[in-house]
Amino acid sequence: MITLRNKQPISVLVVIYTPALDVLLLERADHPGYWQSVTGSREDAESLRDTAMREVAEETGLKATHLTLTDWQQQNTYEIYPHWRHRYPEGITQNTEHVFGLQLLQPQKIKISPREHLNFQWLPYQEAADKVFSPSNREAILQLSERIQHV
């Protein structure tokens, strides 16, 4: 049986985007109005790449194994929001997030998981950066204009 305190404080952030710099955002089901890129915690001893591919599949229905998933070699350590700390082991207050990018040729219809998300939308990267609630998500999206030249 899964307990509430089962999350590892190691996660991935996957920015899904197009060459035109449109970015996919998902609206959280547990906090309507909170928009974000794909995120999720590592399970067991899976690799970070496997975590990113699993989370993309679970949250969007996309199979990242057939797409261009890039490890940006960027880590962010941040304080876990108090209202989400119950998901982690007792005493854990910080999370280390590993950033990935997933490029699609064009915006696609996404199959969201209703348990996790209410809606999705594709926005130009600057609008997407302004809409997300997480500072690290905003920073990653704003890096796209520079990063896409190197993909």
Q: What is the CATH number of the domain that holds 138?
A: 3.90.79.10
Reduced DSSP (H G I as helix, E B as strand, rest coil) percent helix, strand, coil of the chain, to 5: 30, 35, 35
> Is residue 5, in this structure, part of any structural domain at all?
no
Q: Which one has a higher pLDDT value, 151 or 148?
A: 148
- Average pLDDT of the chain is 92
> Is residue 2, in this structure, part of any structural domain at all?
no
> Is residue 144, in this structure, part of any structural domain at all?
yes
- Range 65-73 average pLDDT: 89
Task: Match 């594709």 to its residue by tokens.
Answer: 122
Structure-block tokens of residue 102: 């997933």
Residues 6+ apart with CB under 8 A from 66: none
pLDDT level of residue 88 (50, 70, 90 thresholds): very high
Q: Which one has a higher pLDDT value, 149 or 24?
A: 24
- Range 32-53 average pLDDT: 96
Dump pLDDT digits (tens) for 16-36.
Answer: 999 999 999 999 999 999 999
For residues 8 and 41, give the distance between their C-alpha atoms in angstroms, rounded to a whole number: 6
Q: Are 15 and 141 in contact (CB under 8 A)?
A: yes
> Is residue 3, in this structure, part of any structural domain at all?
no
pLDDT of 85 over the 50 cut = yes
pLDDT level of residue 126 (50, 70, 90 thresholds): very high
> Is residue 4, in this structure, part of any structural domain at all?
no
Q: Which domain holds residue 139?
A: 10-150
For residues 102 and 110, give the distance between their C-alpha atoms in angstroms, rounded to a whole number: 14
For residues 74 and 11, give the distance between their C-alpha atoms in angstroms, rounded to a whole number: 12
> Is residue 18, in this structure, part of any structural domain at all?
yes
> Is residue 70, in this structure, part of any structural domain at all?
yes
pLDDT of 8 over the 90 cut = yes
pLDDT of 141 over the 60 cut = yes
Q: Are 23 and 37 in contact (CB under 8 A)?
A: yes
Domain count, the chain: 1
Beta strands in 4-87 (DSSP E): 10-17, 22-28, 35-36, 38-41, 68-79
> Is residue 84, in this structure, part of any structural domain at all?
yes
- Range 38-46 average pLDDT: 95
Its pTM stands at 0.91
pLDDT at 2: 44
